[in-house]
Amino acid sequence: MSAGLSIGFVAERTGLAVSAIRYYEEQGLVFPWRNAGGQRKFHRSDIRRLSFVMIAQQFGFTLPQIKAELDRLPKGRAPTKTDWASISSEFRDVLDRRIETLTKMRERLDSCIGCGCLSLESCALYNPQDRAAGKGQGPRYLMGDTP
């Protein structure tokens, strides 16, 4: 096995605190090994894994969601471009749905969101007799239903 990268080097390259890297290790997102002196050593590919974690978290994915995707990567070798493309496809689908929802929200924010509040005069126009209630709880028109 190669000499590996120190946790300090990985922290410097990723911009993460050493404590964050240890936490991600505890969560099973990276798998360092210990050298004869007991120091953690990381694969160079762990920099990419941790960078993926940071980006995915910025997009609102939870650590369990991120771990589930990272668990699909091969063990014992650095992931290839094809490996990364495979796990990113699921994230891409989720992000596309979020973008669609955010776009709808932006376009409809000044009109009815289908919440059933009936507190605005315009609700009588957009949601007469609270017909959105028949579609379920919450902001139905922004959750994919159409008015």
Q: Alpha-carbon Rg of the chain, whole angstroms? A: 23
Residue 40: strand, helix, or coil? strand
CATH 1.10.1660.10 domain residues, the chain: 7-105
**What is the pLDDT averaged over residues 2-24?**
95
The answer to whether 70 touches 87, Cβ cutoff 8 Å, is yes
pLDDT in tens, 73-91: 887 677 888 988 888 888 8
Start-end of H helices in the chain: 7-14, 18-26, 45-58, 63-70, 81-108, 123-126
pLDDT in tens, 90-127: 888 889 998 988 887 777 766 666 666 656 566 666 66
Token readout for 13 is 């390259």
CATH code at 7-105: 1.10.1660.10
Q: What's the whole-model pTM score? A: 0.69
pLDDT in tens, 32-47: 999 999 999 999 999 9
